[in-house]
Amino acid sequence: MNELRLPLRCKRCKEVLAYGFERVLLDVESKDPYGDPAFVGEIVCKACGTEGELEPTPDAGRILTSHMMEFLNAARGGRTIARPKVMPAETQLRGKRVGFADGASASSIRRSRSRRAPSVPASTEAGCGSS
């Protein structure tokens, strides 16, 4: 699996275990030392089963920071990382600054719209063009 593995500590049972996430969103303007990370994926403690009580360890903070720098350096250089593991929670969407939740719903709306768009030629269903 292509996932970001982070050591996280459970606030309930204090157990530090590695968790894999598809993506982590950071609030770059947050006062939180780790950028108030929002984990995309299941955040249930593997030890005690408590949900949403995992916090980043200093090691996780370092991993998040290095990924974030990579993302920002790429953006600054005019490049884009195809599937960034760590990205700012606020993102540019069609020229408008939006929060992640808004961006996610907007893009899913756009996706479902294009799926049943009448302008899509029927020939694409035949499987041509899938490189």
Q: Which stretch binds Zn ion (CB under 5 A): 26-34, 40-48, 83-91, 106-114?
A: 40-48
18 binds Zn ion (CB under 5 A): no
10 binds Zn ion (CB under 5 A): yes
What's the token pair of residue 9?
């500590």
45 binds Zn ion (CB under 5 A): yes
For the residues of 36-51, what is the DSSP string, one character each? --EEES--B-TTT--B
Question: How many residues bind Zn ion, per CB under 5 A?
Answer: 7
- In whole angstroms, how far apart are CA 17 and each of 10, 23, 42? 8, 17, 14
54 binds Zn ion (CB under 5 A): no
The answer to whether the CB of 75 falls within 8 A of the CB of 90 is no
Binding site for Zn ion (CB under 5 A): 10, 12-13, 45, 47-48, 50
